[in-house]
């Protein structure tokens, strides 16, 4: 059976072929057959078969491997990893009952215990879960299910949420300063409208986000903005008149001046959200931060406190947009525009003529997976139609090792192959191998010995030949030991 995937450069042909060795021992076969389907943090469930043939494409070599066994957690089938942080990872999952594509965020409590204040971090995780449980809005990420540790041996919290394709930061490629793409004004206004709608809903429930930025604005398959990450949010009673906050958690580049200069009197959480939203809008339309571009905490804070937003051509073309941004980035929180005033600003009503084309979500991997396809397809096939161990091997032929290394991350290829770099025994040259005959002569002269050039050259040649012969002997013995182990 041949499965082909068309790409811009060439197609990848994946051939399922039976070429397992007959001399595989029964113990290894039994180990492969009895592997558990349960989730385990010890590995991915794939075993390397040392007695299989090796595919050599020049720069790389690969050992044959079995496709990984499906990973099940309750009624959910895990796919590939979508992203990861300090103590959490996000995977794509499929609900096997409803066949709904979702995402799961897995918090590892052991890592929290090692690196951070455990009680404080766990309180943040629980706060985000509790807040999302009570939220139901088109522009706020939807929480579907939560699985907490059932015993002391388990240390992970599984939080299932709706699936989103990317974040605004990933769409703009903010992680690569040389490749940043600013959004067209129409697209930025659409995303900003979703941000304000979700923010207005949260404020109505007494929740102040406090960490608004492009990284926390997710985009689903319908191009709708979803606010996420409520771990550092500030919560008040809905009937409370004051929104004074005291903790300063958040991203420094999106923090307001009153937060940087915060005192025991605190600061307005709603005014902070307006400031952060203004910085986010500026970043979306210009592709850069409004204040100092110098790296460093001190330079950034000084610029936020003293400087005005940097001038940009797009703000000169659109004075209405410039007015909105400057009103949101007023350094005085009392004079700063309020949320209901932002929602009624004229910029949302004007016709944006001559705007550039929409920016599409970039491919998940270079040269492949342009539409961010479902990564669980191969795991479903292995779950319902598993192949025998002697047939579950895949040979991939590719003309270029570099292109294959990029294309292998396309789901159909990645699920069947697990390429690894071929490690060569690289030995550093010794001192004698690097020195020349002239250097040896000067060395002998420094210690009071006399030697003519012929003797020096002969000495250097003999030493180097001795080193080369010993090196060849060691390489030969290493190869023999490796062959014996196989």
Two tokens, residue 321: 């947009």
Tell me the torsion sign for CA atoms 116, 118, 124, 125.
positive
Q: Which residues contact 267 (CB under 8 A, 6 or more apart)?
A: 244, 245, 256, 258, 259, 333
User: Cα–Cα–Cα angle for 217, 108, 276, nearest 5°?
Assistant: 25
Out of 40, 211, 468, 475, pick the active-site residue. 211
In whole angstroms, give the CA distance from residue 271 to residue 330. 10
352 to 15, 314, 357, 370: CA distances (angstroms): 52, 12, 12, 29
Q: How many helices (H) and strands (E) does the chain have?
A: 17, 18
396: closest CA among 9, 33, 4?
Answer: 4
Neighbouring residues of 226: CB distance < 8 A, sequence distance ≥ 6: 139, 140, 141, 142, 162, 164, 194, 198, 217, 218, 219, 220
How many other β-carbons are positioned within 10 Å of the β-carbon of residue 312? 17
Beta strands 244-245 and 76-84: pairing type? unpaired
CA nearest neighbour of 210 among 195, 229, 224, 193: 229
Tell me how far apart the alpha carbons of residues 438 and 460 are, in angstroms, rounded to a whole number. 10
Planar angle of CA 37, 110, 212, nearest 5 degrees:
100
> Could you confirm whether 211 is annotated as catalytic?
yes
CA torsion sign, 302 to 306 to 311 to 317? Answer: positive
Question: Which residue reads 């050599």 in tokens?
Answer: 56
| Nearest partner of 217 among 245, 196, 186, 247, judged by Cα | 196
3 state SS of 482: helix
**CA distances to 179, 210, 419 from 254, in Å:** 21, 9, 41
In degrees rounded to 5, what are phi and psi of residue 126? -65, -35
What residues act catalytically?
211
């Amino acid at each position: 059976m041949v499965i082909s995937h068309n790409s811009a450069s060439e197609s990848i042909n994946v051939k399922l072929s039976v070429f397992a060795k007959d001399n595989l021992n029964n113990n290894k076969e039994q180990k492969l057959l009895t592997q558990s389907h349960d989730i385990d943090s010890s590995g991915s469930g794939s075993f390397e078969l040392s007695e299989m043939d090796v595919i050599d494409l020049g720069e790389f070599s690969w050992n044959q491997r079995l496709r990984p066994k499906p990973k099940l957690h309750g009624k959910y089938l895990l796919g590939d990893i979508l992203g990861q942080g300090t103590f959490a990872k996000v995977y794509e999952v499929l609900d096997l009952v409803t066949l709904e594509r979702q995402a799961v965020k897995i918090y590892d409590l052991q890592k929290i215990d090692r690196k951070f204040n455990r009680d404080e971090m766990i309180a943040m995780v629980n706060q985000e879960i509790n807040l999302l449980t009570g939220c139901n809005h088109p522009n706020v990420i939807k929480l579907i299910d939560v699985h907490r540790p059932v015993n002391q041996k388990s240390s992970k919290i599984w939080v299932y949420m709706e699936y989103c394709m990317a974040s605004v930061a990933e769409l703009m490629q903010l992680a690569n300063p040389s490749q940043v793409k600013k959004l067209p004004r129409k697209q930025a206004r659409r995303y900003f409208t979703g941000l304000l709608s979700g923010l207005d809903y949260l404020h109505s429930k007494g929740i102040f986000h406090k960490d608004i930025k492009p990284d926390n604005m997710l985009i689903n398959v319908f191009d709708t903005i979803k606010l996420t990450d409520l771990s550092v949010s500030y919560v008040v009673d809905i009937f409370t008149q004051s929104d004074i906050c005291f903790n300063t958690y958040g991203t420094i580049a999106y923090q307001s001046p009153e937060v940087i200069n915060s005192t025991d009197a605190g600061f307005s959480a709603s005014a902070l959200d307006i400031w952060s939203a203004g910085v986010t809008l500026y970043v979306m339309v210009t592709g850069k931060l409004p204040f100092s571009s110098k790296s460093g905490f001190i330079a950034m804070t000084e610029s936020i406190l003293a400087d005005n937003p940097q001038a940009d051509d797009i703000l000169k073309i659109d004075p209405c947009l410039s007015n909105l941004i400057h009103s949101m980035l007023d350094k005085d929180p009392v004079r700063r525009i309020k949320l209901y005033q932002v929602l009624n600003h004229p910029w949302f009503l004007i016709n944006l003529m001559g705007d550039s084309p929409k920016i599409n979500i970039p491919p998940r991997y270079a040269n492949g997976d342009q539409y961010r396809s479902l990564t669980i397809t191969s795991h479903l096939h292995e779950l319902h139609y598993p192949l025998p161990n002697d047939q579950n091997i895949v040979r991939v032929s590719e003309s270029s090792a570099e292109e294959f290394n990029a294309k292998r991350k396309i789901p159909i290829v990645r699920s069947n192959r697990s390429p690894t770099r071929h490690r060569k025994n690289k030995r550093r040259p010794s001192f004698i191998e690097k020195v020349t005959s002239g250097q040896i002569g000067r060395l002998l002269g420094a210690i009071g010995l006399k030697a003519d050039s012929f003797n020096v050259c002969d000495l250097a040649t003999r030493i180097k030949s001795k080193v080369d012969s010993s090196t060849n002997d060691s390489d030969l013995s290493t190869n023999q030991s490796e062959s014996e182990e196989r």
